[in-house]
A = this chain, B = another copy of it.
Amino acid sequence: MTSRRSFLKAASTGSLLATLGPRAARTADLRLNEIEARIARRDFRALIKEDLPTPSLILDSEIFDQNLRRMAEHSKATGLKLRPHVKIHKSVDVARRQLGLGAIGLTTATIAESELMSSSGLKGVFWTRQPAGRNNITRAVALSKRDSTFLLVVDDPIIAELVEQAAASAGARCTVVVDVFAGLTRHGMQSGRPALELAQKVDASKHLRLHGLMGYSGGASHTRGWEERRKKSCDDLAGLLETVELCRKSGLPVNIVSGGSTGTYNIDTENGLTELQCGSYIFMDTGYRKVGGKSNAAVYDDFGAALTVMTTVVSKRHPNQCTIDAGNKALLRPTDEAKGMPWITVENQGAEYGILKWKDGDRDLKLGERVELYPTNLDMSVNVYDRIYVARGEQIIDVWPIMGRSGAPQR
């Protein structure tokens, strides 16, 4: 059991009252309902980060804008088209900005994400997980019928056959990309002749239209070291490119060759892809920052860390540590990092609790203080929130809904 002295060391009253006191008057009336009402009428004038409930997802708009522009410029300069991945943000607002800067469409992981983007009027949605099961096949065919720019993949003649049958019975025509193995055994038809035969089957199907090929080298995206990543991506994509050649020689249409990730955006220009599926570049996370960049081997800093989880210190009873109100459900992880406080380490604690630790001599965190954390994995962190608060400095300037999550009706 901890000593009384160490228990009480933390409880030196006064500092918190001083911290909370002055602002409390200004925003005493800013109850949650009022904040919600302001957001609904898009009146953000008096809304600052301090007013928000925690844990909350916060986007630094300046860094985000820089990230968007940087990737758009890269795409323009290299001629490698960008079809950014939606799973990172699940936000129509973010997608609109990406398309506004020249992206040719959007890449999605689920039929729900695809429906969300397409029904918002966004074109060129490319769903990269083949439909399997009646629910997904029916929805993919229905979406193809509503939106002729929607693309779906197959990696199996069985699915090609089922989609053809469903499209025939729905009077639809589906535009199909053949998914070719590129290192991850979770999906992709074997490259070379098997993939060629699948492409031929698609091309010969009355209600399917062959559009091209894809291959996702997921192993390359997080390989540490730019040269190592380059080698991995090159190796993984060799079979895809061989298949592209085979298809072209056979007279099949190959309008797109899609692949790549934020980790390989400046690598796959060499690898014969026509378009990139990058997603994480818009926000970045601690996982990506550690893989190292081309110009900075230690930190991958081509894109800035724009997204944080805002938390509050909810208990402070032991020296050199405090408890925050972000836990497993906020997807707190020991690899998260505290913004502006590199001396802090993060520990899991439970559903709604996390612990931050520091060493003697570091600045103490106080009860009620707010701490922003850089999350480790964007896909998952964004997935558990309903919205992103967009900030310029301390000021909230926008709120974007996150949709199409793991909720069953949204699949």
Chain B residues lying within 8 Å of A54, measured Cβ to Cβ, are 133, 135, 408, 411
A317 adjacent to chain B (CB < 8 Å): yes
A384 lies within 8 A of B408 (CB): no
**What B residues does A189 contact at CB under 8 A?**
7, 317
A17 interfacial by beta-carbon distance below 8 Å: yes
Q: How far is the CA of A387 from the CA of B110 in the complex (A)?
A: 18
User: Interface 1/0s, chain A 209-239, versus B by CB < 8 A?
Assistant: 0000000001000000000000000000001
User: A135: nearest residue on chain B (CB-CB)?
Assistant: B53
Once the chains bind, are A408 and B387 in contact (CB under 8 Å)? yes
Contact B328 A181 (CB under 8 A): no
Name A7's contact: one of B17, B51, B135, B190 (CB within 8 Å).
Answer: B190
Complex formed: what's the CA distance from A13 to B109 in Å?
A: 25
State A411–B387 Cα separation when bound (angstroms).
12
Q: How far is the CA of A104 from the CA of B134 in the complex (A)?
A: 44
For the complex, is A66 an interface residue (Cβ under 8 Å from B)? no
Interface bin, chain A: 35 or more
B53 and A411 form a contact (CB under 8 A): yes
Kindly report which residue of chain B lies nearest to residue A8, judged by CB atoms.
B194
Asked whether, in the complex, the Cβ of B8 is within 8 Å of the Cβ of A132, the reply is: no
Contacting residues, chain B, for A194 (C-beta < 8 A): 4, 7-8
Query: Within the complex, what minimum Cβ distance (angstroms) separates A139 from chain B?
Result: 6
- The verdict on A314 contacting chain B, using a C-beta distance below 8 Å, is yes
Q: Which of A149-165 contact B (CB under 8 A)?
A: 155-159, 161-162
Name A135's contact: one of B32, B377, B383 (CB within 8 Å).
B32
Contact mask A322-353 → B, CB, 8 Å, 1/0? 01010011100000000000000000011111
* Chain B contacts for A410, CB-based, 8 A: 386
Contact A317 B181 (CB under 8 A): yes
Q: List 7 A-B contacts (CB under 8 A).
A: A1-B191, A1-B239, A16-B162, A20-B134, A129-B325, A132-B367, A185-B318
